[in-house]
Amino acid sequence: MLTMDSKPAMLRIISSAIGVATRAGAEVRQITRTGKLGIVDKGVCDYQTEADRRAQRMIVVSLAKKFPKSIIVGEEDLVDDKKADASLLVEDADESVLSQTLPKEYENVKEEDVTIWIDPLDGTSEFVKGVSYEHVTVLIGISVDGKSVAGIINQPFYGQKVGEEDKTTGRTMWGLVGLGCFGVTPKLMTEDGLVITTTASHGNENIEKSIASLKPDKVLKVGGAGHKVLLVLEGRAHSYVFASAGCKRWDTSAPEAILRSAGGQLTDAFGQTIEYKFRSDGNYQNYLGVIASASPKIHSKVIESIPQEVKDGLKSKSKL
Ligand code: AMP
Ligand code: MG
Ligand code: MG
């Protein structure tokens, strides 16, 4: 008989994160159905809705109760996000995770060694504008010693286009570096006909210059860091190119871990690993950009092709 308490912390945290990500995704669908999005403007093309707020509260309240010693960092600045609210507390956990054989390197990881990164709704721009629901994801990343190692992604509207009948139950995927990924089938594209995916709503000259230098055959401009990494993971794009500040650690933690668990890579525009550490100033910008690729070979090619002037520009504006 599997008892949750006797299992290693890493498996227990992933198991609970899958349960709460799935429920948060259902909450996002429910709020969308009501049509009362309660949009708040956080900046230039940066929005927050009631779906972002409720999903974050649900995830924070539920994980903080079970793992009080872990550090939890959420995107939304909500004064009351740890306030107990019975309707938000999720006890669901994915039992199948508990029977996985945990790679040795995680055996001694304790609850207090873990930082949990939450983007309760990634792809809000496209969600608010009604461009696409499929670009929306709920992201929970788990880092240890500054490295993102596990990621849970729920795609609440998987398979549902805007205007189509609302009948999807979404999908939840997860990965642990060294173990593999689950709930999604990674696919490597053939190397000919380079396909790049990038932002639809936060573009700029540096991103354009970086993509142009790759001479791609196709560029998919779509919303969400989580969604773009899924395109790379599932063989619909070779690489996600975002040579710009703008993405934060909660955007990249879960996608990075799930992609790496399948043999891909996600780094900054210099090919350096992104560091996931708590900061008292709350500045979690990925100033040096985000590049994610299906394989190390494609990744090196993309990193090498980013123009030096773009790299210099990113470095000069970094505030970390
Ligand atoms: P996008 O690819 O534009 O959907 O962006 C991926 C993630 O990074 C989303 O969570 C965006 O909100 C965030 N992001 C990227 N660029 C910016 C920016 N310039 N301002 C605010 N958020 C950004
Ligand atoms: Mg986001
Ligand atoms: Mg968000």
Q: What is the pLDDT of residues 163-179, one digit of tens each?
A: 887 788 999 999 999 99
pLDDT of residue 42: 86
Beta strands in the chain (DSSP E): 40-43, 46-48, 71-74, 114-122, 137-144, 147-155, 171-176, 180-182, 195-199, 218-222, 239-242, 265-267, 290-293
pLDDT of residue 165: 79
Tokens of residue 126, six digits: 């496209």
56 Cβ contact partners less than 8 Å away, ≥ 6 residues apart = 74, 75, 76, 78, 81, 118, 120
Q: Is 308 exposed, middle or buried (0-12, 13-18, 19+ CB in 10 A)?
A: exposed
* Confidence category of residue 145, pLDDT binned at 50, 70, 90: very high
Tokens of residue 255, six digits: 């996608």
**pTM for the full predicted model:** 0.97
Q: What is the pLDDT of residues 40-99, one digit of tens each?
A: 998 888 899 999 999 999 999 999 999 999 999 999 988 666 666 778 999 999 999 999
pLDDT of residue 83: 64
Q: How far apart are CA 27 and CA 50, in angstroms?
A: 10
Among all chains, which residue has been given the structure tokens 């992609």?
A: 259
Q: Does 247 sit in the ligand 1 pocket, CB within 6 Å?
A: yes
Q: What is the pLDDT of residues 177-219, one digit of tens each?
A: 999 999 999 999 998 899 999 999 999 999 999 999 999 999 9
Most confidently modeled range among 48-57, 153-162, 165-174, 269-278 = 269-278
List 239's β-bridge partners, or say none: 196, 293
Is the alpha carbon torsion for 34, 164, 59, 254 positive or negative? negative
Average pLDDT, the chain: 94
Q: Does 223 sit in the ligand 1 pocket, CB within 6 Å?
A: yes
Q: Which residues are catalytic?
A: 52, 124
- Of 288, 274, 269, 285, which is closest to residue 214 (Cα–Cα)? 269
Which residue among 127, 211, 247 has the greatest number of ligand 1 atoms within 8 angstroms of its CB, and so is best to mutate?
Answer: 247
Which residue among 199, 253, 317 has the greatest number of ligand 1 atoms within 8 angstroms of its CB, and so is best to mutate?
Answer: 199
Q: Give the number of the atom of ligand 1 that is nearest the alpha carbon of residue 135.
A: 4
